[in-house]
Amino acid sequence: MKPPPEERHGIEWLRGIVRRLLAPDGCPWDRKQSLESLRRYLLEETYEVLDALDEGDRAHHAEELGDLLFQIVFQAELGGHTLESIIEGIGRKLIRRHPHVFGDQRVETAEEVRVNWEQIKREERGGAGSLLAGVPRAMPALPRAQGLSSRAAAVGFDWPDAAAVRDKVLEEIAELDEAVAAQDPAGVDHELGDLLFALVNWARKLRVDPEEALRRANWRFVARFSHVEEALARRGRTPAESSLVEMEALWQEAKVVLRAQRRRAGLAPPAAHAGPLARPGAASERDRSGARPPARRSGRRRPAPRRGRRAPARPPGAARPAGGRRRRRTPRRRRGA
């Protein structure tokens, strides 16, 4: 059977191709797929879109958006959904959640829009259920922690300021130290999780996206370690054949070299970099470092008590299982301790 006519390269043309692939005499691999088996490919294509964004290559970005669109059309066919019903659903949702654009409501700021959006979502659900229910459980842990803490903070369940969260971070480090000293693997796991959650909240208070901050740190690691590998290769050795002292010296050299490259290119420091596609013509991370950045594969906590008040024995949602170890609470540390 011939492919669908190419009169219009629109969504109907793509849907025709997908239906042809799924036909009895179509592609054996495509016909073997299910909604469950496609989960990994949906994530993979999403990460590749993000990777293309990071590279700043607009043609690559368009290509990856096409791959992601194919996944949507493919899943629609397997799930028995029509594209018309999907488009109608999202269109009506956007109109309903933008009364300041398609209705008479007036707003002045983006924050007002966000608050109204969340209120409309709650009304759509009948106002029932937890405030946290809308944060997908399948999300990676770091962005899910961001979502959970942000939603709790929106209703006042939050630390008063960044300094208070810093105190909580120091407290969690002390508790992690206790678990390590006690050689308690389960306790280390628990306390490390609490520490990571506290760090996400500290980032939120500092108005830093922890996912982006960690992603940029990953880029820097790849760029610097690549410099180490290349320098060692010129000496006829691999990292496994080199000493830690030699690799550390090359690592420090890499920091200087990469920083100089950014200065010569007139680029902002990585922490302020908004992404190449945000500024047409900006160099990609690969241009800056010689290494392609990796794709992203890709509980509520109580607010810290104010000084002078005694903290509850355990924050909500963080109770230990029955029979778990009991911990001595450490005194709160002063800032800078």
Q: Specify the CATH number for the domain of residue 73.
A: 1.10.287.1080
Average pLDDT over residues 88-97: 94
Higher-pLDDT residue of 321 and 252 is 252
Cα–Cα distances in angstroms (integers) from residue 314 to residues 85, 248, 279, 321, 326, in the given order: 47, 42, 47, 12, 11
Is residue 304 a part of any domain in this protein? no
Lowest mean pLDDT among 184-198, 238-252, 303-317: 303-317
63 is a domain residue: yes
Nearest to 246 by CA among 226, 227, 232: 232
The pLDDT assigned to 240 comes to: 95
User: 29, 58, 81: which is the final residue of a domain?
Assistant: 81
Burial of 167 (0-12, 13-18, 19+ CB in 10 A): buried
Domain boundary residue among 33, 62, 81? 81
pLDDT band at 321 (very low <50, low <70, confident <90, very high): very low
Residue 64 token pair: 């990856």
* 44-59 pLDDT, tens digit each: 999 999 889 988 889 9
pTM over 0.85: no
Residue 20 token pair: 């042809």
158-217 pLDDT, tens per residue? 999 999 999 999 999 999 999 999 999 999 999 999 999 999 999 999 999 999 999 899
- Between CA 254 and CA 258 the distance in angstroms is 6
The whole-number pLDDT of residue 313 equals 38
What backbone phi and psi angles, to 5 degrees, belong to 108?
-115, -25
The answer to whether 213 and 203 are in contact (CB under 8 A) is yes
Domain count, the chain: 2
Any domain includes 283 = yes
Q: What is the mean pLDDT of residues 83-111?
A: 93
Q: Is 145 within 8 Å of 194 (Cβ atoms)?
A: no
Question: Which backbone phi and psi does 132 adopt, to 5 degrees?
Answer: -90, -5
On whether residue 129 sits in a domain, the answer given is no
Average pLDDT over residues 238-265: 92
Three-class secondary structure assignment of 190-211:
HHHHHHHHHHHHHHHHCCCCHH
What distance lies between CA 178 and its chain's CA centroid? 30
Distance CA 151, CA 118 (A): 9
Answer yes or no: is 202 within a domain.
no
pLDDT confidence bin for 100, thresholds 50/70/90: very high
Q: What is the spatial distance between Cα 91 and Cα 86, in angstroms, rounded to a whole number?
A: 9
Residue 166 lies in a domain: no
**Rounded distance, CA 223 to CA 299, Å?**
35
The predicted pLDDT at position 295 comes to: 39
Residue 20, domain extent = 11-81
- Residue 234 domain flag: yes
Domain boundary among 28, 60, 81: 81
pLDDT of 5 reads 63
Structure confidence at residue 127 (pLDDT): 65
